[in-house]
């Protein structure tokens, strides 16, 4: 078993042309994590099961913290400083203990979350829900990053993906500053989990909102990824894959820059292109 139980060895028969070889491969671990909320009452502590997600073990506290923030269950950008804490009743449980003064919608704790591409919620309703939920205003004066730097971010992401290099089975989410310095990176079998983990890491350090940052994700830029990025106040979302139409509608409404199909030497800029400096581009 690897670091934090994130990977394990598995016996396989490997074929190279007509030659078979018995050897061990490294595979990524996928296990459920139940995220719970503990709400204090009159001398009692009520436990709400909030969600179950299939994730790669590791950074589970950051996953739970990021999930609570990006899904709008808490609005405080410095929750740990104001009394929120996280416990681990078991390896596959993360319990978020809310301070008494933190108001929370108890009904929302027991609802299913609509932020999935398969839920059937129409685009207009989904975008309106984001506005009702609230998000930090994106800066109107930047950041502006050079196109050459944008092109180099996938390489910097790959070099930092230690688990992916070992297993080939993980999504990644990374937050860079406008100079291209990597601030946080997290990997997970689920792309949404990777985003929640990396935002949870920033939240844990009291760094939200991140108005001078770039979010880079290894997969596509779906609506869920966009709304989580927006909740963190990040004005530039870049993806190695494609954005969805709903992502672009949300980005256009709030002034977020969305970049898709990013690779070394190529990119599609869909919205707010003024944040990408193209002088001298070839």
- So what's the pLDDT on residue 4? 61
Q: How far apart are CA 278 and CA 282, in angstroms?
A: 9
pLDDT tens readout for residues 63-82? 999 999 998 888 889 999 99
- So what's the pLDDT on residue 117? 35
pTM of the model: 0.88
Bridge partner list, 217: 173, 239
- So what's the pLDDT on residue 102? 75
- So what's the pLDDT on residue 278? 84
- So what's the pLDDT on residue 280? 54
Question: Out of 119, 253, 278, 281, which one is annotated catalytic?
Answer: 119
Q: How far apart are CA 12 and CA 23, in angstroms?
A: 6
What is the β-pairing status of strands 85-87 and 93-97?
A: antiparallel
Q: Which residues contact 236 (CB under 8 A, 6 or more apart)?
A: 143, 145, 213, 214, 215, 256, 257, 259, 275
Q: How far apart are CA 244 and CA 206, in angstroms?
A: 31
Judge whether 119 counts as a catalytic residue: yes
Point out the residues of the chain with pLDDT beneath 70: 1-4, 103, 105-126, 132, 280-282
Q: How far apart are CA 278 and CA 38, in angstroms?
A: 49
């Amino acid at each position: 078993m690897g670091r934090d139980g994130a990977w394990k060895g598995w016996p396989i028969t490997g074929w190279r042309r007509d030659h078979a070889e018995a050897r061990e491969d490294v595979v990524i671990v996928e296990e459920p994590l139940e995220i719970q909320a503990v709400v204090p009452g009159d001398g009692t502590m009520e436990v709400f099961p909030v969600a179950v997600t299939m994730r790669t073990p590791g950074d589970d506290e950051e996953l739970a913290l990021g999930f609570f923030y990006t899904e709008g269950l808490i609005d405080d950008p410095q929750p740990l400083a104001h009394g929120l804490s996280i416990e681990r009743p078991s390896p596959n449980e993360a319990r978020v203990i809310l301070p008494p003064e933190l108001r929370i919608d108890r009904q929302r704790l027991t609802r299913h979350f609509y932020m999935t591409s398969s839920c059937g919620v129409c685009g207009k309703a989904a975008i309106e829900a984001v506005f009702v939920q609230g998000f930090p205003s994106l800066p109107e004066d930047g950041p502006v990053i050079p196109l050459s730097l944008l092109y180099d971010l996938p390489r910097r992401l790959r070099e930092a993906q230690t688990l992916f290099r070992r297993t080939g089975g993980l999504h990644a989410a990374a937050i860079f500053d406008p100079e291209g310095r990597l601030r946080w990176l997290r990997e997970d079998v689920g792309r949404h989990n990777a985003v929640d983990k990396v935002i949870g890491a920033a939240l844990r350090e009291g760094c939200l909102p991140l108005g001078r940052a770039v979010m880079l994700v290894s997969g596509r830029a779906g609506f869920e990824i966009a709304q989580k990025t927006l909740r963190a106040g990040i004005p530039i979302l870049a993806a190695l894959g494609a954005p969805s139409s709903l992502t672009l509608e949300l980005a256009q409404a709030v002034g977020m820059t969305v970049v898709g199909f990013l690779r070394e030497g190529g990119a599609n800029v869909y919205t707010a292109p003024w944040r990408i400096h193209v002088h001298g581009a070839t």
